[in-house]
Structure formats: C-alpha cells, structure tokens
Chain A
Amino acid sequence: MRKDLPIWLGTLAGGFVVATRWFSLVNATGIDRTADRLIVASYAAAAAVGFIGLTRVHLRAIEARRPLWGYSIVLLVAMYGYSGVLFLLPTSAPLPNWIFQNVMGPIFSTMYGLIAFFITSAAYRAFRVRSLESALLLAAAALALLGNSALGGRIWQGWDGVLAWIMAVPVTGGFRAVQVGAALGALGTAVRVLLGLERSHLGSPQA
C-alpha cells in the first residue's frame, strides 16, 4: 500500500495533465484551469514544506552543536528575518529594497564572479593538447573566446564570420543532438512513471 498509492496517484495526476495538454475537448470543460490552480497550490505547499524542513534540520544542528553550527544560526536569522520584513512591508518598501540591493546583490554577484577564477585554473590544468580531438577543442575554444570578446573582430574582420559558422553548424548540431537525446530520455522516464514501472523516486526497494 505504501508503494501502490503513490504510484496510482502519479499515474492519475500524470494522465490528467497529459489529457489536458493533448485533448482540446478536455479543456472545453475548464478543467485545465483547475489543474493550473492545483499546480500553483502544490508549489506553495512545497515551499512551506521546504521552510519547515530547513528549520528542523538547522535547529537540530544547533542543538547538537554540529560542526559549523554557527552558520545554521545565520541561515535561520536571515530566512526568518527577511520573511518577517516581507510579511510586514511590501517588496517595494525601502527596507526590503535596501536588503535586496545591498546585501543579496553583492553576495550573488560575488558567487557568480568566482566562476572566472575556476575557469582560469581549469584553463591552466585541463586544457592540454594530448590528441587531435583535444587540439581541435582548444582551437575552437580560442576562436570562440576571442570572437565573443569582440577582440577577434578587431584583430581580423573575418573572425566574426568564423564564429558565426561555429555557432550555426557544429554548435547547433551538437546541442541539437544533446537536446533530442535528453528529450527522448525524459519521455521514456515519463512513460515509465505513468505506467508505474519507474519506482526509484519512491525510495529503496527495501523501504
């Protein structure tokens, strides 16, 4: 029963969504809008579950004085503090806006900026020419780097044309293959879930 009920629920919910997408007759009843409202409600419920789960995990870490438990306090203060501010004030009010621009903004920009350092390290250690394929990869990376930075077009006018060809032919072909493969894989998994054949999302077989 612990497994059968979730499987049947998944099959019914998935079949319902498929029917609303594929058959206009179903939508004529307005049931697709009901489905939309249910999805929105499930998002809100998932956020609430996440909030509660995060609180429990970090409260336990603080109680047990686990390593780095101080960061758990920071997390809870930030989460409840900002939620409280947004509960009391509209998003457009000065205080939430100040927190957004001057606290969250620099933190996220710093996180994003760290990518530059990892790229540098990877360029030094990983981009080694060991075969014809890796030499081609290195050449394509160099062309794309200079072309995207606008410097290539300044050095040689044909550079932009070369970059456009790389994007239109090998890149398009490569990504199309990846995307078609991923879509077929997703479709296969979806069919397995709908038919109740896929059970890994329900936990281990012993559960």
Chain B
Amino acid sequence: MTALQRLRHLDRRWLYLGALLVTAAGALWPLRIAPHPSAETRTAFDLAQALPSGAGVFVYVEYGLGSREELDPMLAAVLGHLASRHARIVIAARSPEASQVAETVMGEVAARFPAYADGYGGSWVNLGYRPAPDVALRAATNGIAAAYNGVDYAGRPLTGMPILQALPVLDHAHFALAYAFDSGDGFAPMIYYVGTPTRIPVMIGAISMEVPVLQPYLAAGQLAAVIGGARGAAEYEALAGQPRRADVLVGASAMAAVYVLAVMLLGNVVARLP
C-alpha cells in the first residue's frame, strides 16, 4: 500500500492537528497581507468620513462572545473612526452579552479620545439590552429613553443626559447613520424597523460567513454597505488610520484558507486512486 493509498483511511485527527498547527503559526508569526480595500468597505468608510461634527450615529451590537475575535477589531475600528469624526454615538445591544461586549470595546476606544473618555452621556451612551430587543428597537423610533426604560446599561438614568436631549428619537432627523455588528440575524430588525421606515442609511459589520446572506439586501439598496469579516476590518483599519488589530486575523485566515484548499485537493486525489 502506497503512502497516498494509506491517506484514504486517514484518521481525521491528523487533519485537526494540521489545522491547529497552521492557525497557531498564523497567529504566532503573522503573515502581513494588506488587502486592497473593497468597494463595500470604501463606501462604509466614505459615509462615516462625510459625517459632520456632532452627527448622531446609532450602533447596534448583536454579536456575542463567540464572534469577538472576528468582530471586535471591526467594531473598534468603526467606533474609533466615528470618535475621530466627533460623532455622538448611541449604542444598544441585542443580548445581555452583546451589551457587555459593546461596553468593553467602546471603553477601549474612549480611552484613546479624551472627549469620549470623560464624555459619557454627552459624546456616547450605552443603552444596553432590553428583553424583546426587536420591540425596543422599534419603540426607539418613537423615543429612545422610553424604549430602554429610562436607564442605560449600568442602570443610570437617561434623563438629563445631553446626548439623549440632542438625539431623543431614532429617526432621520436626528441620526445620520446606523450600524449593526452582527453574527446572526440581528441585521434583519435593523432593516425592518430602522432602515426602511426611517430612511437612516444602515451599514452592517458581519462575520465572513454571513456576508452572502446580506447580498440581496445590499443589491436592493436596503443596506448602504457591508463590512465583511476580518478582511473588511483590516481594510477599514487601513482606510481610517486605526490601530491594526485585524491584520493578524487576515494572515492567519489566509494560511487556514490555503490549508483547507490543500486538504480539498488531497481529498480529491486520494478519492481517485485505484
């Protein structure tokens, strides 16, 4: 029996070991590949870049802990860019864990911008999560504070916060842009309850696997732009001049992609052996 014939009965644990070694190598010795910005990422960047100082931006965080590695760099890059444009940022979450993720990432971003580090309630606010999140989102188009029971993520009263006096309603008159950072189906309520009725341009930051699902909405004009996966995050970081956190992910995922391709080819060669 030749070595190739032995591969026909290859124990899958060898494949797992190969995947582990390749991804670990990608993380330990990053392959720096600066991707060319796609048209989608550039559109997202241009829309944020055109914001006037003090513009209202609604950021809806849907993803949880499992998708943090892929979406945290993207969220940080976008929030950092918005902070550099002096936008007023209202954050809400679709799950309890997402509200904590948003708090962590925005806390890191705010630390880099003095106006945001000391500007909670004026420059940004984290509304957190409410049960029946879709209902809260829809109700925010009538009044944000009431939709979130009048308190923020940590239970502080929203009454008197300057940001919600300037941006009391989630509508086109107050908000210039809306984002959803999503690893599941959180984008849908943003389209149904925010983008379509209010005409606020909606952008989605999504994990790579979700990008194909978003294509029909993009083609129909219901989404203004999609930033896709680690690659989209790296492109956005480069365009917005933000700290390069996603480059490592792009390098590691490139190595993993080559490994998966090699495994696919090997599987086909082995299957054709007599």
Contacts and interface: CB of A to CB of B under 8 A. Distances in A.
Contacts of B35: 150, 153
A171 B215 contact: yes
Contact of B261 (A129, A142, A154): A142
B256 A116 contact: yes
Interface residues of A, number: 53
Contacts of B218: 172
Contact of A148 (B65, B96, B257): B257
Interface string A87-113: 000111000010011001101110110
A47 B135 contact: no
Contacts of A43: 131-132
Q: Which residue, of A124, A129, A176, has the highest number of chain B Cβ atoms within 10 A?
A: A124
Contact of A171 (B20, B66, B154, B212): B212
Interface stretch (A3-11, A32-40, A59-67, A197-205): A32-40
Interface in B1-46: 10, 12, 15-16, 18-20, 23, 33, 35-36, 38-39
Judged by DSSP, the binding face of A is: helix
A149 B215 contact: no
- The B interface, classified by DSSP as helix, strand, loop or mixed, is helix
A104 B104 CA distance: 14
Contacts of A109: 65-66, 68-69
B66 A108 contact: yes
Interface in B201-219: 208, 211-213, 215-216, 218-219
Interface stretch (B51-59, B171-179, B265-273): B265-273
B264 A36 contact: no
Contact of A138 (B12, B104, B264): B264
Contacts of A39: 132, 135
A150 B65 contact: no
A117 B18 CA distance: 9
Nearest to B37: A160
B15 A149 contact: no
A117 B68 CA distance: 19
Contact of B234 (A101, A116, A138, A150): A150
A123 B131 contact: no
A124 B263 contact: yes
B134 to A, nearest CB: 9
Interface string A124-153: 110111000000001001100110111101
Contacts of B23: 116
A124 B264 contact: yes
A175 B215 contact: yes
Contacts of B19: 116-117, 120
A98 B274 CA distance: 57
A105 B139 CA distance: 31
B261 A146 contact: yes
A21 B211 CA distance: 29
A105 B213 CA distance: 26
B71 to A, nearest CB: 11
A101 B135 contact: no
The listed residue with most A CB atoms (<10 A of its CB), out of B23, B33, B212, is B212
Nearest to B211: A167
A107 B65 CA distance: 9
B130 interface: yes
Interface of B: 10, 12, 15-16, 18-20, 23, 33, 35-36, 38-39, 64-69, 96-97, 99-100, 103-104, 128, 130-132, 135-136, 138-139, 142, 153-155, 208, 211-213, 215-216, 218-219, 228-229, 231, 234, 250, 253-254, 256-261, 263-264, 266-268, 271
Given A129-B268, A171-B215, 20 more contacts: A36-B135, A36-B138, A40-B135, A47-B131, A100-B97, A107-B65, A109-B68, A120-B259, A123-B260, A123-B264, A124-B10, A138-B264, A142-B261, A148-B208, A149-B231, A150-B231, A150-B250, A164-B39, A168-B215, A175-B215
30 contacts: A36-B132, A36-B139, A42-B132, A44-B131, A90-B154, A91-B96, A91-B100, A92-B153, A92-B154, A108-B68, A112-B67, A117-B15, A117-B20, A119-B260, A124-B266, A128-B268, A142-B264, A146-B261, A148-B208, A148-B228, A148-B229, A148-B253, A149-B250, A149-B256, A149-B257, A151-B258, A153-B35, A164-B38, A167-B215, A172-B216
